A = this chain, B = another copy of it.
Amino acid sequence: MAALSEYHAQRNSLIDADLSLRREYRNLHSRSSKELEADKIMRDIRALEAKTVWTADYPSIPHPFPGMEFLTGKSIIMKTKVFEILSKMPKGALLHAHLDATVDIDFLLQLALKQPGIHIRLHKPLSKSNLSTNLPEFRILPQEQYSQVKSISDPTYSLQTWVSLVNARNFFSQELGGMEGFDKWLIGTMTINPSEAYGTYNTLAKIWDKFGTVFQTSTNLFHIEPIFVEYVRQFFRSMIADGISYVEARINFTPKLMYGADGQLNVPHRTWLQIFERVMNEIREEMKQQSRGDDFIGARIIYSVVRSATPEELVWYLEDCITLKKEYPHLVAGFDLVGPENVLNPLIYYAEQLLRFQERQKEESLDIPFIFHAGETTGDGTEADSNLYDAILLGTKRIGHGYSLHRHPKLVEECRQKGIAVEVCPISNEILRLTSSMPMHPLPALLNYGVPVALCSDDPAVFGSMGLTYDFFQVFVASEITGLSTLGALARDSIEFSTLEKAEKERALGVFERRWSEFVEYIVVEYGAK
């Protein structure tokens, strides 16, 4: 039937036209035959696992499906071949991660236990029933103030008294689980578990409350110099292990000082940058020693301030950022405002100061791009949603989250035309209840509209989603359009839209292409027809 074959031809053109803006479509027809083969292999494994791994019977998971709630599905994800393969994928750059939420909480706790000065205290008595909401406070004390108190869980414990972390752990009441119970309790206060995300705090507004307490507790430990040093080191090591070769980490500079090893609050921002740089160089050296120099291109910092600052306070931070940029131009990648957009101040509130900041940069011949969080919301026309207008008008280099961006025709067009990439954080969005699961996430709309996207992990320590493999996994299994080449395009764009200088970027992209070929080869050799 001629009409039918003509219909099929029209249909193919319509689909092509519809998908033609996608970033991977630019090179779709120049892909190597190896990549085509690997793409097919990955699609086949995905299809097979959707029917096997994802339909199997799991006692504690009533109805699993690909792209399901991450915290519940994680144990299944880890059983899949797709996950195993993606863990070996070169990921390009990590462009959106809050440094204070990037290292495994287990590891952080081990770091803290190694520091004899670290103490813990409580503001209400600990009991079995309040373990999950009784938040501890940490501090490093000067040696002369080290505490001799043994237990914080004993009925004799006097509230607000500091106890050394080691003692608190060693003498943790057996009723509350002893040392194991102690670790479990602390880890619980610094992470989000499934029953919290999908039960107790199962709304946008409520989960931010839990999220806030998580940061309140963990940054207590993070802001201690000897821990900070090892934290940064572990972050670099773990990201490299996951195939990430470059990072632009957001550091919250709202606190003006962190604690030194001497127990004094005396370590200024400048030292934070020096530590970051020193550790980065050490890791570079470490990688070179292992003949893996190319696996770590480097790291930069996005200077961030919590959006609860007054406009006057913000001016201080903007000047601080300028000062640091002058001294460490290769370290300061950009500027951002952080914290819940629906609760704290919108960008427009700071318009005057932010415009002035741009003038100041001209005066100082500096370039500190804005890299704003905006539109991390399901709201339509709310302040958080409207932050997208300001971010773009203020010339943001990228958009953090941009969850509501796909709804805005003009802004989508601007992002595509001006090359404003969106830092999409799939697992973060889902755990923070912007979306219930991956199939409902707006990422496919952004991709089809040709907006450049970099996948990011946001706060992997809080979510237990270390690296980028989990995020790539969730994206890959929730769309039939997305294939291996889509993942490649996402990884390339993470480098392309970084703040790396031209020469550095070319090197990073060159390294990426070599690693990508190896990855494609690995898929074909390991999983192809034998």
Cβ contact of A480, chosen from B14, B380, B439, cutoff 8 A = B380
Q: Are A393 and B10 in contact (CB under 8 A)?
A: yes
With contacts A18-B411, A63-B203, A436-B436 taken as known, whether A381 is within 8 angstroms of B7 at the C-beta atoms is no
Check B4–A409 contact: CB distance below 8 A: no
CB of A328 to closest CB in B, whole Å: 29
Contacts of A11 in B (CB 8 A): 348, 389-390, 393
Q: Determine whether A444 belongs to the interface, using a CB cutoff of 8 Å to chain B.
A: yes
Q: A360: shortest Cβ distance to chain B, in Å? A: 13
Report the Cα distance A52→B10, complex, angstroms: 54
Interface residues of A in 384-441 (CB under 8 A from B): 385-386, 389-390, 392-393, 406-411, 434-436, 439-440
> In the complex, what distance in Å separates the CA atom of A14 from the CA atom of B386?
11
Task: For A478, list chain B residues within 8 Å (CB).
Answer: 380
* Distance, CA A36 to CA B378, complexed state (A): 27
The chain B residue sitting closest to A355, CB to CB, is: B3
For the complex formed, measure the closest distance between the CB of A165 and the CB atoms of chain B, giving whole angstroms. 35
Which A positions have Cβ atoms within 8 angstroms of B? 1, 3-4, 7-8, 10-11, 14-15, 17-18, 20-21, 63, 65, 202-203, 205-206, 348, 351-352, 355, 359, 378-382, 385-386, 389-390, 392-393, 406-411, 434-436, 439-440, 442, 444-445, 448-450, 478-482
**Inter-subunit contact A408/B448 (CB<8 Å):** yes
Q: Are B380 and A14 in contact (CB under 8 A)?
A: no
Instruction: Knowing that A14-B393, A380-B482, A436-B436 touch, tell me 8 more A-B residue pairs with CB under 8 angstroms.
Output: A7-B393, A18-B410, A379-B439, A382-B480, A406-B406, A407-B444, A434-B440, A435-B436
Q: Is the CB of A409 within 8 A of B7?
A: no
Q: Is the CB of B481 within 8 A of A381?
A: yes
28 intermolecular pairs with C-beta atoms under 8 Å apart: A1-B352, A3-B359, A4-B352, A4-B355, A7-B355, A11-B389, A11-B393, A14-B393, A14-B410, A15-B386, A18-B409, A18-B410, A63-B205, A63-B206, A65-B203, A65-B205, A378-B439, A379-B439, A380-B482, A406-B406, A407-B444, A407-B445, A407-B448, A409-B449, A409-B450, A436-B436, A442-B442, A445-B445
Chain B residues within 8 Å of A449, by CB: 409
Q: If A18-B389, A393-B11 touch, does A380 touch B444 (CB 8 Å cutoff)?
A: yes
CA distance A448 to B405 in the complex (A): 11
Contact A381 B440 (CB under 8 A): no
- Top 8 closest pairs, chain A to chain B, by CB: A381-B480, A381-B481, A380-B479, A18-B410, A378-B439, A436-B436, A407-B445, A380-B444
In the complex the two chains form, is B389's CB within 8 Å of A14's CB?
A: yes
Complex-state Cα separation, A529 to B411, whole angstroms = 38
A378 neighbours in B (Cβ, 8 Å): 439-440
Question: With the chains together, A362 CA to B408 CA distance in Å?
Answer: 41
In whole angstroms, how far apart are the Cα atoms of A442 and B482 in the complex? Answer: 20
Rounded to whole angstroms, the CA-CA distance of A382 and B355 in the bound complex is: 46
A224, B445: Cα distance in complex, Å: 45
The docked-state distance in angstroms from the alpha carbon of A63 to that of B4 is 53
Q: In the complex, which residue of chain B has the Cβ closest to the Cβ of A404? A: B444
Q: How far is the CB of A38 from chain B (nearest CB, A)?
A: 19
Q: How far is the CB of A23 from chain B (nearest CB, A)?
A: 13
A385 to B434, CA, bound (A): 22
Query: Cα distance A11–B381 when bound, in Å?
Result: 14
A266 CB, min distance to chain B CBs, angstroms: 38
Taken together as a complex, chains A and B put the C-alpha atoms of A389 and B392 apart, in Å, by 33
CB distance from A381 to the nearest CB of B (A): 3
A408–B442 alpha-carbon span in the complex (Å)? 12
Option from B390, B392, B435, B479 in Cβ contact (under 8 Å) with A440 = B435
B-side contacts of A206, CB under 8 Å: 63
